[in-house]
Structures are given as structure tokens and as C-alpha cells.
Amino acid sequence: MNVQFKKGVLELIVLLSVTGRDMYGYELVDEVSKVIDVNEGTIYPLLKRLTNERYFETYLRESTEGPPRKYYHLTAAGVLYKDRLKKDWEEFSAKVNGFIKECDGE
């Protein structure tokens, strides 16, 4: 898949993954990797940026194996941001799909 496409949609997929329940980094990387094949290293900086922009808040929770894990939780601002991105994506993909059909029809 086109690298630029992946880059553009990665943020939306990360936000959508955390909507249902809080996740720790590795879990989130796994979840995102199911949808798109992406370099795992690039997800952590994205998480960091979204946290700095207050769309995520983090907390530590003990785990049965190994050190405590940092969980990511979507804030109210994050939910708003996610909804906006989702709407943008839906409008954008609908337009592109419509245009593809139009071109195929001709």
C-alpha cells in the first residue's frame, strides 16, 4: 500500500483503536498492525504527539509480567478530534470513490 496513504490515515486508526478501551503501547501497535502494515517504530512518536496535544492522557498500571505498563486514554478533546477526523475521512473517501466511479463509467 502507498506509504503516503498509510501516513495520512494512521492517526485516525490509532484514535479509533483506543475509543473502545484504554490500551498500552504494544497492544495498540498490534491492533493498528492488523489494519495496516506499518513500521512499528513510527506509532510511538505519534502516541507521544497526541499526548502532548492533550488528545490522550496516560497512566501506569501494574502488569502480571514485567514492569508497569503505560496506558493511553482518549480525552474529551481526543473524542472530538477523532470524530472530526472520521467525518473528514468519510467525506474524502466518498468524493474519491465517486470520482473513480465517474471515470470508470466514461
C-alpha cell at 90: 468519510
Q: Does 26 bind another protein (CB under 8 A)?
A: yes
Taking contact as CB under 8 A, which single stretch among the options 8-16, 49-57, 83-91, 98-106 is the one that binds another protein? Answer: 49-57
- Which of 16, 46 has the CB closer to another protein? 46
Q: Does 40 bind another protein (CB under 8 A)?
A: yes
Q: Does 44 bind another protein (CB under 8 A)?
A: yes
Q: Using alpha carbons only, how large is the chain's radius of gyration in Å? A: 16
Q: Does 54 bind another protein (CB under 8 A)?
A: yes
3-state secondary structure 21-53: CCEEHHHHHHHHHHHCCCCHHHHHHHHHHHHHC
- Which of 62, 65 has the CB closer to another protein? 65
User: Using the rule CB under 8 A, which residue among 19, 36, 77, 87 binds another protein?
Assistant: 77
Q: Give the integer Cα–Cα distance in Å for 18 and 35.
A: 14
The answer to whether the beta carbons of residues 38 and 9 sit under 8 Å apart is no
Closest to 23 in 3D by CA, of 68, 59, 72: 72
Binding residues vs another protein (CB under 8 A): 25-26, 29, 39-42, 44-49, 52-55, 57, 65-67, 69-70, 75-78
